[in-house]
A and B are shown apart, each in its own frame.
Chain A
Amino acid sequence: MTKIDAPSRRFALFGPQPRAPWVWIMALVTGVYLLVECGFNSRLLDVVGGMPDHEAVEAIEEIGRSLSGTALALMFWPWVLKRAADKRWNYLLTALALLVLTIVVATAVYRGEQKLVDRIVERSSAEQRFLATNLVALQGALVSNKVLLDELPLTPEQLRAPDGKSFLAVFPLLALSTHELDQVLQAQKPLILRAMADQLHGGESASYNHFLTSREALIETYNDHYVPASNAYQDSLGGIGARQDKAWNDYLARLRKRGVDPDNVPPAYWSDIRKDVRKRGVNVAKDWDPGDRAGFERAVGLSVRSESDKRFREGVAKHLDGNSLPPGLGMGAFFSHPVVQAKWRKSLHYKNSSFTLPVELPPQAQAPHFFNRTVYQRVLDDDVRATLPQYTAPVDTFADGGKNSDLGRESLRALAVPPIALGFSIVGALIHLVKLTLFVIQLIAAWGFMSGFVKGVCVPALALLLLAVFHFIPTSEITRQPLYDYFEQRGAGLGATEPNWQGRTAMYFTRAVIHAQVPAYPLFEAIRLNLLGGYEFGYESHQKTGKSDANK
């Protein structure tokens, strides 16, 4: 170890540091965390750049907040571990201290991030919510590639690339500051909403596949469940006569065993006999005469019919979301029944449509075109018809208490969450990358920061510096487009006419993030797929593709 005299050590940032056991622990834990954060970052980019639905954003946002909280907690771990070494704490106490610290810090960060988004949403104006609503739709339309921006045309390949995804994630934020955005979008809204609906349904081809899958699932339900249940029901009704005869003969035998004939039982004993008969499952009328065979058989018939009905209804309802159908339907009647149609449309997420989906398809070669013409385009028409009034509603309906207030808030949340989550994720990853580098230096060269405070300031600064460097590395074509420059100029004012430092900083790092993702994403995705076993981080692939759940 190199000796340094006291005066020069006092002002040194870096100096000799021991290769203490806690450094090994921190290097290992930071390394593991970094792997998880990188994997999460790649998944997050897939989500935010892919027109996620509300649930998907919520799900990944929660994991993002938890990871950010863990990241900050890890920054305090060295302080605890050093104290544990100095005070000679045992393993249990040390683990307990780390656990408490992690829970407290992670919870605080989790809540803090949540509050940040909530505050942005709560403080938003009706106009911001209105614009957010339309921008989220435009974002979806861009993702579907059915809408192109003048002076920033993006090919599907570009949109699938890391910088394209990053751009889409921050696009609403960039465009929010554009002047008279609504006038620009007004004429295109039906087209935008149609494109958004197309994107939400996964596109024509994917929708056709989902349609086929759900159709097959329903045909299976018909053949394997409905038809057998219906046949069993009919068989059961066909056997009513035999059941009636048997029940009556059993009844007579029981009476005769007691020396009684049904016609000779005094009325004073009828009540007892009725009770006995009912106890045996024949629900005779309250004024039934024990000698009345027709009344007895009617009750047996009703009982058998009721049992069969119940068995049939329960058997069928299990496969039709708890709804039932009449028995004996042919395939055509089954598929055109409102209950089946409703389930089918629900499984395909055709929530705005009510027309009858066809079960009969033309030959395979014409089927996709037939589906597109008779189903898919009608679904998109219905979606546009249902959503357009909201997207063209007066701005004041998006104010608190307005009828579109919830839609506006949700849209603003959908707009704000992706960039925030992406920002925290990138910063967290960079900070822990710097930290890991420092731990490795300390383990190899026995050198490190002399002061914890200095380290606490320098590490985030170095991380931001590292990110800032990417601003100048033009890895993406997107940031070179004229429209991006326009967005950047408008965004520098954060809604105001003149640029300000907050807006400039935001736009500076936005460009840096787009550039940084080009080299980072492939590496992070490889980590996710190879080292984390392809973990989805709460974002299942069917959420993105709208996979049919008709067979569930």
Chain B
Amino acid sequence: MRTNNSMRPLLRAAALLAAIIAGPVHAGALPDVQNVMQLEPEGYVALNKITTPLLYPVHTGKPYNTKFLLSVGRENLPPDLGKLQPDLEDINEFRVHALLQQFEPYLNGRMEALRNAKGYLVPLQAKLGEYDFQRRRFPLSLNMMVTKPKSPDSYHCAGAYDEFRHTRLSACVSATNWNNQNKAFQFLAIDDMQQAEHIKRQLLNKQAGFYFLMQNDGRFRVVDNAKMKYGGFMEPTLASGVLPARVIGLLLVDHTNSAIILAGEMTP
């Protein structure tokens, strides 16, 4: 994967770190794109509060609650549809029904994309430590959205496709070749201090974020033998299924223009 010329040294540094923590899983090659918007044509769907819960109906053929999905995932709707979403709370059920028809093409498109996806762009929670001026790098701590208690494993879970007895129902993605004890991506090496400072500021201001690029690594598994709960008291959620996927790379994405600032490949 290549970025623009100014980002090339950073990419090399991150790739080097990834190589150091070589794991047993064979990573796929990163697609040759410069912007995350270019990932979907390559078969990688961005997982958010709309697409993540839709993994369950896509892989099981089960129905989902459109109104509830849109309500929980409104922040990830395209701007034009996002404006319509509050009207779904209207008490006139005919109007709501008519409105829902307008969401249908978008949702069908998302489901179709998920059905054909070979991988996913998965947002991460990241903590950047203090810059090491001697080694010219940041210590980096990554986690997926939902951490498993007393375990280094974490899952990407978001949104809800339905509600059952005041509990949200959703789906998750698990990494088959990574957890937070894995030595991959523990440092972010940036030689240029100005650039390092700029990136840190972007991250603190939520103008940039880390993402895993993952590929399918097995069949969607329905969680029917245990209750996989998360979300605490405020947003209790049950995971109805987990899709296994393996990490093929780490991306730092500029949220303002969706450009890929740097990318590191997960090497075997």
How many whole Å from B53's CB to the nearest CB in chain A? Answer: 12
Chain B residues 51 to 86 lying within 8 A of chain A, measured CB to CB, are 60, 62-63
How many whole Å from B63's CB to the nearest CB in chain A? Answer: 6
Q: Which of A264-272, A327-335, A486-494 sits within the interface? A: A264-272
A291 at the interface (CB under 8 A from B): yes
Q: Which residue of chain A lies nearest to B228 when distances are taken between CB atoms in the complex?
A: A268
Measured in the bound complex, the distance between the Cα atoms of B242 and A268 in whole Å is: 12
Residues of chain B within 8 A (CB-CB) of A180 are none
Q: Are B225 and A266 in contact (CB under 8 A)?
A: no
Q: Which residue of chain B lies nearest to A288 when distances are taken between CB atoms in the complex?
A: B224
Q: Are A271 and B169 in contact (CB under 8 A)?
A: no
> Per-residue 0/1 for B176-204: is the Cβ within 8 Å of any A Cβ (1 yes, 0 no)?
00000000000000000000000000000
A contacts with B, residue count (CB < 8 A): 11
Contact of B164 among A264, A287, A291 (CB under 8 A): A264
Q: Which residue of chain B lies nearest to A272 when distances are taken between CB atoms in the complex?
A: B224
> Per-residue 0/1 for A266-291: is the Cβ within 8 Å of any B Cβ (1 yes, 0 no)?
11101100000000000000010101
Measured in the bound complex, the distance between the Cα atoms of B224 and A266 in whole Å is: 8
B226 at the interface (CB under 8 A from A): yes
Residues of chain B within 8 A (CB-CB) of A360 are none
Measured in the bound complex, the distance between the Cα atoms of B56 and A263 in whole Å is: 12
Q: Are A266 and B238 in contact (CB under 8 A)?
A: yes
Measured in the bound complex, the distance between the Cα atoms of B63 and A232 in whole Å is: 42
B222 at the interface (CB under 8 A from A): yes
Interface SS of chain A: loop
Residues of chain B within 8 A (CB-CB) of A291 are 62
Residues of chain B within 8 A (CB-CB) of A268 are 223-224, 226-228, 238, 240
B contacts with A, residue count (CB < 8 A): 17
Q: Find the residue from A263, A264, A265, A271 having the highest chain B CB count within 10 A.
A: A264
Q: Are B164 and A266 in contact (CB under 8 A)?
A: yes
Residues of chain A within 8 A (CB-CB) of B169 are 266
Q: Find the residue from A264, A268, A287 having the highest chain B CB count within 10 A.
A: A268
Measured in the bound complex, the distance between the Cα atoms of B237 and A323 in whole Å is: 57
Residues of chain A within 8 A (CB-CB) of B224 are 267-268, 270-271, 287
Q: Find the residue from B62, B223, B228, B238 having the highest chain A CB count within 10 A.
A: B62
Residues of chain B within 8 A (CB-CB) of A270 are 222, 224
Residues of chain A within 8 A (CB-CB) of B63 are 263-264
> Per-residue 0/1 for A28-64: is the Cβ within 8 Å of any B Cβ (1 yes, 0 no)?
0000000000000000000000000000000000000
Measured in the bound complex, the distance between the Cα atoms of B63 and A265 in whole Å is: 11
Offer 17 A-B interface pairs, CB within 8 angstroms, sorted by A.
Answer: A263-B63, A264-B162, A264-B164, A267-B222, A267-B224, A267-B240, A267-B241, A268-B223, A268-B224, A268-B226, A268-B227, A268-B228, A268-B238, A270-B222, A271-B225, A287-B224, A289-B222
- Nearest first, the 6 closest Cβ-Cβ pairs linking A and B are A270-B224, A267-B224, A268-B227, A267-B222, A267-B240, A266-B164
Q: A267-B224, A270-B224 are in contact. List 14 more A-B contacts (CB 8 A).
A: A263-B63, A264-B63, A266-B164, A266-B167, A266-B169, A267-B222, A267-B241, A268-B223, A268-B226, A268-B228, A268-B238, A287-B224, A289-B222, A291-B62
Q: Interface of B with A (CB < 8 Å)?
A: 60, 62-63, 162, 164, 167, 169, 222-228, 238, 240-241
